[in-house]
Structure 1
Amino acid sequence: MFSKCVRAAAAALLIGAAADCRAQVTPADEVNPLIDTHKSRWFFFSSASRPFGMVNLSPDTGVDGDWNAGYLYGEKYIRCFSHVHDWQLAAVPVMPATGEMKGPAGYEAYKSAFSHDQEVAKVGYHKVYLEDYKITAELTSTKRVGLHRYSFPAAQDAYIYIDTAAKLAMMDAPPDAKIRRVGDKELAGYTVLAPTIRRKKPVTVYFVVQLDKAFDGYGDWSKGGSAFVHYKFAQSGRVQMKVAISYVSEEQARLNLAAELPHWDFERVVRESKQEWNEWLGKVSIAGGTPAQRTKFYTDLWHSLLGRRTFSDVNGKYIDNTGEKPVVRQVELDAKGQPVRSTYNSDAFWGSQWTLNVLWSIAYPKLMGDMTQSLVDYYTNGGMIARGPSGGNYTFVMVGDQAVPLIAAAYQKGIRNFDVKAAYEGSRKNAFPGGIRDHAGYEAGPKAEGGGMKYYVERGYVPLGNFGTGGHREGAAQTLEYAYQDWTLARFAEALGKKDDAALFQKRSGNWRNLFDKSTGWIRPKNMDGSWLEPFAPTCLGSNCRGFVESNAAIYTYYVMQDIPGLIEVLGGRAKFIEKLQGQFEKAAPARFITPHGKHGENWVDYENQPACHMAHLFSYAGAPWLTQYWVRRVKEEVFGNASPSGGYNGDEDQGQMGALGVLMAAGLFDVQGGAEAEPRYEITSPLFERVTFQLDPKFYAGKTFTVAARNAKPGNVYIQSTKLNGKPLTGRFWVTHKEVVAGGVLEVQLGPEPNKSWGIVSR
């Protein structure tokens, strides 16, 4: 059947008129989940998923490893459909088949070829044709329940394998898994996910499987850890299957299933999934732009609403795995007995001060507060605010205390739907020896010291030395990260009236100066004896230069967001600062401002990874906002503009961070300081679209909408000529405050092909 839009377009062609069908295209329709799937991580790809879904059901072409695993566009075979693609979590792989029963032989035996020509992938729905079995498989989901629909050909024998004892993704084979037959339409069980180098403890996933047709046979293998159901079809047949999960218990999995999917109406679930996605994506609307730009914009926004996966059940119960034994906890309930929020798994918030923290605070303030409380729960339960929690425990991914910039920014922007007292206590604890900063990358245990906090407190910097364990024990980067985090904590303390703490952390925020080498003009690591690292160069070959985390001195020298005037001063003043930074962008341009993942030490600017994501915006602070406009647009188009399966995120989309960055660049808004300042503000750059409108949450903000309206927005017009806020000229600054944004209104940005070098200039 042709849609009304298609029929209208055809009729318009016959009469020579134009047909505009944009009104019928929703934000969810614009999303393309296949963008940059040629080389992605286990948790990158989602299709049959809800916003922040516990279940994120999709086909897996690769089942081994963290990188280059999950769904990869160039692969020829589907090996299973699994239900969890999360930070250090993967679970419940299933696969339909016909012919000989091959389940015990594993993925390689029962995989099937497929073709993109017979594939549909969109938000909340995925459809593939399994060529080896002539099966059409369709997938959708609620937040905690996966729903499958398999159309089998006429075949004597048809199977569905539930291979829960098999190795999957980054983990070893489950140390324990059990599945049992409950009836002729139901199975239930659990699988214990083996620890990983990041998630140090096992975690159990409980599941309930229900089918809409009684099966003709049942069997299991792997000592009852995996199973199959058997059907006999004399003619073609259709089977639907629900898979509900919980990290708490089988009973809770049943509760999730009963609450979220009591029926078998597949089309209804697809429709409701799209509706829910449109509610979230519709918080930001756009006008103008090319089809590819619109697709990339909403795919970016979609990614920002995917990665942090729900960990609590429908009634708010969740597992706390921070102690010796798992403990069932309860999210707070409202007056009607419903949970007021979810708790989440998440990769690190490393670098999110420029991405998720900024976007969420404008468009999704409740989410930002809920995410904050989820991290603070770990302080209440386990003694430290979390850094990259997975399976109810810490993973200590990356370095420092990445939660405090999120917490401080939320508080400063009036987002306070979290335990402020506990948040401050936990943030302060993490800023001293024994807190989470002392845990180097993935360093667990009660006596972690790889973070070097005793040296940071005593000396004002972290030296290079053989102390602690874990990864990322790189003193210069640690010092820079801690100093910025101290500044955000100082602002949080100041806002709470804690003057002594504010003064302490403000002073410590200047520790970056202890590693600035005037003789070279770069941040430079120091050895344990206080001497400068030799030999030294701003870039190097490999993953990172000594002393820097996945980066180098050429990039980390600019990691002084809390004192940009001070940085400009030590680099020789505005003119020399601009010359230095401009030279780095020119050197990085031939490589598209990125490096291949794992070679972060090699380029002068690296938008493939987090530490450099603010660099193009620094020109504005030095008195050259037109250079920010120029380089931001180039980065947006050359690094993040691709809307095909072969590009768009460059391999490292850390659970929505690069997606959020793409949204902000397209909207012409950014925040170098991350929102923790006393009066948060957003730097203005050139919008990509004619109009970007944020729907403001009335529970948090007084305004209804805030619109960035670009006048004369067309290719080549990347320079701001003038700006108006609610009809009044905006002069003498290159920013708009958070208060002005959330009060609602319109920011008009006049664009042109040549720079206006007087716009946005702040008097010294």
Structure 2
Amino acid sequence: MTGKTPLWVILGIISLILTFTSCEENTTTSVETNDAARDWVDLVYPQLDTENSRWFFFSSANRPFGMVNLSPDTEIHGAWGSGYRYKVDTVKGFSHIHAWQMSGLSVMPIAKPKEANSAVFGDFYSGFSHDTEKVSPGYHYLELDRYNIAVELTSTKRVGFHKYAFPESENIQSSILFNLNTQLGPCEISDGHLQKDGNMELSGSFVMQPTRRRPKPLTTYFKVRLNVPVASIERDDKTKNYLLYLDKPTRPVLMKVAISYTSVANAALNMEKELPHWNFEDVVKSSKDEWNEMLSRIQVEGASENDRRRFYTDLWHALQGRRIISDVNGAYPDNTGDQFRIGQLPLNADGNPKFNHYNSDSFWGAQWTINTLWGLVYPEIMKEFSLSMMQYYQDGGLVPRGPSGGNYTYVMTGASSTPFIVSAIQKGLIEEDLDGIYKALRKNHMPGGIMGKAGYEHNTDIGGGMAHYLEKGYVPYPLPEGRHGIHLDGSGQTLEYAYQDYTLAQLAQKLNKHEDYDYFMKRSKNYRNVFNGEEGWMAPKEASGQWKKDFDPYAYENGFVESNAAQSTWFVPHDLDGLGELMGGKGKAVEKLDQQFKKAEELNFTSGSSHESELHPEYRRIPINLGNQPSIQTPFVFNKLGRPDLTQYWTRTVVKRTFSGLAPNTGYNGDEDQGLMGSLNVLYKIGLFQMNGGTEENPEYQIGSPIFDKVTIRLNPEFYPGGQFVITANNNGENHFYSGKPVFKGEVLNDYAIKHNDIVNGGELLLNMVESPN
């Protein structure tokens, strides 16, 4: 993702221009014509759900997956409830790093009377108003009321670009505070150092101290250049922070801040390669162009203006949170060993890295979200992330499920990266060293692998209960060895492992590893061992083989990870026929799930309006929670049980009731883990889903009920030959959301499913929408 613009991007832009100027363009209404001619970034609403924000949630001045995610912070303590919080009207700095368990480099422009003392180090916050604020992908503008300073922010991948308009007064000293020793979001920032390298140039470093999740410190390096001279630097003895006094700026002050996790020299190189000039508007435009290209991969027509705005906001969120940690030359921080080292990514013939290295929250639940969206619409991203995870394996011996700071975090449970990487292989995105990849994934599924470690279990591998899983066919609850980490919910873990074993078996079959295929397919049936036939639910099971007493299917985290038994019972994406059999037949399974949806509708299908609401006595008992990963696939379970009409009904109902809001106080009503919920919303709204994460040969997509009249997916020609895939929903509307039998290239799709190879070879999927099911 560095270097020259790929040919396919150039061709795609040309294609868009031709599309927009063609006299044959479908212009069903004047609104559609106007929407087609506008920028997609103008449809994004970045402040969605920011009343419930967490440190890595909000983005403004950043590029897709950029190392720099520059934005204002209104709360700076704790991973949850921090960062940009809409209701807090006080800016406490502008930070460059908002990532999973990583933060840092907070700066604040300050205008103070020249005779004032240095109390500014402990008193520098400023109010601001949303009335004068402007936010769009790649850009942020606000005014610091206390100082009468207008602030503009933008960025490249690795460089933050600031523009400050200080008040013009002889009595005002213009300065910039570098808050290099402070608490920022999830971690303490310490050992901050800043030095002057020249009249307009500085450099420095700071250390992100360990967190419970990220167990090792990480040093961050930075390089700063300004367009005005630095008169002097003051260091405060108490806070150990730095104040830069600027020498009589009579024009807007521009400041470039490049970061690196390897060295100051590489931070300077990042700036040299990505931002050698001083044209702020050019960078804003470049960022806008990059976001437009990404967002325009899916073009929608129809529905309401609000629906289209929310859709592109969801799509934008699907490309957020997970961050690049490698430099432009491929250097990256490797913290997987006993000693920190600087790693080097493999290079192409032109000397550029073959891929970027990433920081990422867990892929837990990704099989129902980014597996499908990235694999179809952004295959180059899915490939890069897969290669990055394999780099962690080369360095540290395990494929991560959520790396941070160049190291494993052991966030959540299971081997959630297996479905992601297997899906990338089955879609043809990765073709080299498949045996080596299989070996790495297999290690994760065996004793000593990552599957045996529960949440944040850094020093042991007991919490995953692998010994029990292999001996008994399930993980007990409670775990007899005691607590080692968190999320020790044995039946939920068993369900995850069984599904992930199935996905690994699919790769074994592809590689003709027949014994392994049989072995892991046998393990994939272990979900049956935690189904309590008398109760009709998955249930917690003790090590003795007895069902846990006082069973309550709605008790939260009573044997199930971030869920209850009612929600997690449907976590059998690889064998819903078998689950239906356990329930007494598909008809009874359908009736049971339909009743759960009817009950969940009373609470808008989610456990309150935010993730922490799941602990609320009422919300935690909801039978379906589409605000967290364990049951987000459930609307499409009906498809696999032979009732596509109920999939269509419930997905449209859920979207309308729960995922159509466009305001700071609403959005995902739960846990938007770095693109997972944004991706889910996109898939619901275009009517495509993959129940088993796209892990079988020639993966299958289930067809739902798109809310738009037309969906056009531009396919990346470097991976897929078809040009574009179109979904047309004729006679679509609020009361016409049931689809007759889908038709693709003249063929009726009786099972409401379409294969990956058919989609990527291009064509049009026709849906005739009706008022009542057939």
TM-score with structure 1 length normalisation? Answer: 0.94
5 Å-filtered alignment, 1:378-389, equals 378-389=392-403
5 Å-filtered alignment, 1:563-712, equals 563-596=575-608, 597-598=611-612, 599=614, 601-712=620-731
Q: Partner residue of 1:527?
A: 542
Q: CA deviation at 1:246?
A: 0.2
Q: Partner residue of 1:89?
A: 102
Equivalent position SS for 1:686? coil
Q: Check the 8 A contact 1:322/1:392 in 2, yes or no.
A: yes
Q: Partner residue of 1:5?
A: none
- Quick one: distance in 1 between partners of 2:393 and 2:117? 44
Deviations 1:491-545 (A, max 9, x none): 01101111110100000000011111110001111112111101111002xxx33
- Quick one: distance in 1 between partners of 2:707 and 2:380? 27
Q: Partner residue of 2:348?
A: 334
Q: CA deviation at 1:100?
A: 5.2
Q: Partner residue of 2:26?
A: none
- Quick one: distance in 2 between partners of 1:18 and 1:377? 47
Q: CA deviation at 1:224?
A: 9.1
Q: Check the 8 A contact 2:567/2:630 in 1, yes or no.
A: yes
Q: CA deviation at 1:254?
A: 0.4
- Quick one: distance in 1 between partners of 2:382 and 2:433? 13
* Structure 2 residue runs without a partner (length 5+): 1-29
How many positions carry a matched residue from both structures? Answer: 733
Amino acid at match of 1:429: K
Q: Check the 8 A contact 1:103/1:110 in 2, yes or no.
A: no
Q: Quick one: which of 422, 437, 441 aligns to 2:451? A: 437
5 Å-filtered alignment, 1:3-402, equals 21-99=34-112, 109-155=123-169, 156-174=172-190, 176-222=191-237, 225-231=240-246, 233=248, 237-402=251-416
Q: Partner residue of 2:773?
A: 755
Q: CA deviation at 1:420?
A: 2.5
Matched, 1:545 2:545: no
Which sits farther off after the overlay, 591-600 or 359-368?
591-600
Which sits farther off after the overlay, 464-473 or 250-259?
464-473
- Quick one: distance in 2 between partners of 1:189 and 1:343? 23
Q: Check the 8 A contact 2:358/2:385 in 1, yes or no.
A: yes
Q: Partner residue of 1:558?
A: 570
- Quick one: distance in 2 between partners of 1:651 and 1:376? 30
Equivalent position SS for 1:99? strand
Matched, 1:716 2:738: no
Amino acid at match of 2:302: G
- Quick one: distance in 2 between partners of 1:209 and 1:103? 26
Q: Residues 642 and 18 (structure 1 numbering): CA distance in 2 closer, same or farther, change over 3 Å?
A: closer
- Quick one: distance in 2 between partners of 1:19 and 1:52? 30
Q: Check the 8 A contact 2:209/2:216 in 1, yes or no.
A: yes
- Quick one: distance in 1 between partners of 2:80 and 2:66? 21
Equivalent position SS for 2:742? strand
Matched, 1:416 2:434: no
- Quick one: distance in 2 between partners of 1:686 and 1:635? 11
Equivalent position SS for 1:568? helix
- Quick one: distance in 2 between partners of 1:343 and 1:64? 28
- Quick one: distance in 1 between partners of 2:486 and 2:452? 12
Q: Partner residue of 1:6?
A: none
Q: CA deviation at 1:232?
A: 5.8
Equivalent position SS for 1:57? strand
Q: CA deviation at 1:634?
A: 1.1
Q: Check the 8 A contact 1:96/1:150 in 2, yes or no.
A: yes
Q: CA deviation at 1:702?
A: 2.1
Amino acid at match of 1:161: L
- Quick one: distance in 2 between partners of 1:106 and 1:334? 49
Deviations 1:464-485 (A, max 9, x none): 2242510011100110000000
Deviations 1:636-689 (A, max 9, x none): 122211111111112421000011111111111011111011231111111111
Q: CA deviation at 1:103?
A: 10
- Quick one: distance in 2 between partners of 1:731 and 1:362? 20
Q: CA deviation at 1:415?
A: 1.3
- Quick one: distance in 2 between partners of 1:122 and 1:108? 31
Equivalent position SS for 1:172? strand
Root-mean-square deviation (CA), in Å? 1.7
Q: Partner residue of 1:762?
A: none
Equivalent position SS for 1:146? strand
- Quick one: distance in 2 between partners of 1:106 and 1:636? 48
- Quick one: distance in 1 between partners of 2:500 and 2:738? 33
Q: CA deviation at 1:217?
A: 2.4
Equivalent position SS for 2:278? coil
Q: Check the 8 A contact 2:567/2:631 in 1, yes or no.
A: yes
Q: Residues 205 and 225 (structure 1 numbering): CA distance in 2 closer, same or farther, change over 3 Å?
A: farther
- Quick one: distance in 2 between partners of 1:483 and 1:152? 60
Q: Residues 335 and 395 (structure 1 numbering): CA distance in 2 closer, same or farther, change over 3 Å?
A: same
Q: Check the 8 A contact 1:103/1:228 in 2, yes or no.
A: no
Q: Partner residue of 1:491?
A: 506
Deviations 1:288-313 (A, max 9, x none): 22111111111111111122100100
- Quick one: distance in 1 between partners of 2:587 and 2:763? 36
- Quick one: distance in 1 between partners of 2:236 and 2:678? 42
- Quick one: distance in 2 between partners of 1:566 and 1:749? 30
Q: Partner residue of 1:506?
A: 521
5 Å-filtered alignment, 1:452-471, equals 452-464=465-477, 465-467=479-481, 469-471=484-486
Equivalent position SS for 2:640? helix
- Quick one: distance in 1 between partners of 2:442 and 2:716? 30
Deviations 1:697-755 (A, max 9, x none): 222222111011111122221111232112x1414211011111011000011112211
- Quick one: distance in 1 between partners of 2:439 and 2:153? 44
- Quick one: distance in 2 between partners of 1:689 and 1:18? 14
Which sits farther off after the overlay, 507-516 or 527-536?
527-536
Q: CA deviation at 1:195?
A: 0.3
Q: Residues 60 and 720 (structure 1 numbering): CA distance in 2 closer, same or farther, change over 3 Å?
A: same
Q: CA deviation at 1:419?
A: 4.3
- Quick one: distance in 2 between partners of 1:19 and 1:192? 50
Q: Report % sequence identity.
A: 44
Q: CA deviation at 1:108?
A: 6.5
- Quick one: distance in 1 between partners of 2:239 and 2:231? 19
Q: Check the 8 A contact 2:32/2:302 in 1, yes or no.
A: no
Equivalent position SS for 1:353? helix
Q: CA deviation at 1:97?
A: 1.1
